[in-house]
Amino acid sequence: MEAKTKTVSAILNAPAPHMVGDGFRVHNFFPKGYKIKMSPFFLLDYNARIEFSARNEPRGVGVHPHRGFETVTIAYHGAVAHHDSAGNSGIIYPGDVQWMTAASGILHKEYHEEQFSKKGGAFQMVQLWVNLPAKYKMSPPKYQEIKHNSIAKHTLDNGSGNIEVIAGEYNGTKGSASTFSPLNLFNARLNKEGKAYFDFPAEYNTGFVIIEGNIKVNGTEIAKADQFVYFKNEGSIIEVEALENSIVLILSGEPINEPIAQYGPFLMNKPEEIQQAIDDYNQGRFGYLDE
% of the chain exceeding 90 in pLDDT: 97
pTM of the model: 0.97
pLDDT band at 275 (very low <50, low <70, confident <90, very high): very high
pLDDT in tens, 172-221: 999 999 999 999 999 999 999 999 999 999 999 999 999 999 999 999 99
C-alpha 33 chain-centroid distance: 15
pLDDT in tens, 87-138: 999 999 999 999 999 999 999 999 999 999 999 999 999 999 999 999 999 9
pLDDT in tens, 42-89: 999 999 999 999 999 999 999 999 999 999 999 999 999 999 999 999
Domains and CATH numbers, the chain: 8-253 (2.60.120.10)
pLDDT, mean of residues 31-41: 98
On the question of pLDDT at 2 being above 70, the answer is no
| DSSP-assigned states of every residue in 104-137 | T-EEEEEEE-HHHHHH-EEEEEEEEEEE--GGGT
Question: Pairing state of beta strands 228-231 and 183-190?
Answer: unpaired
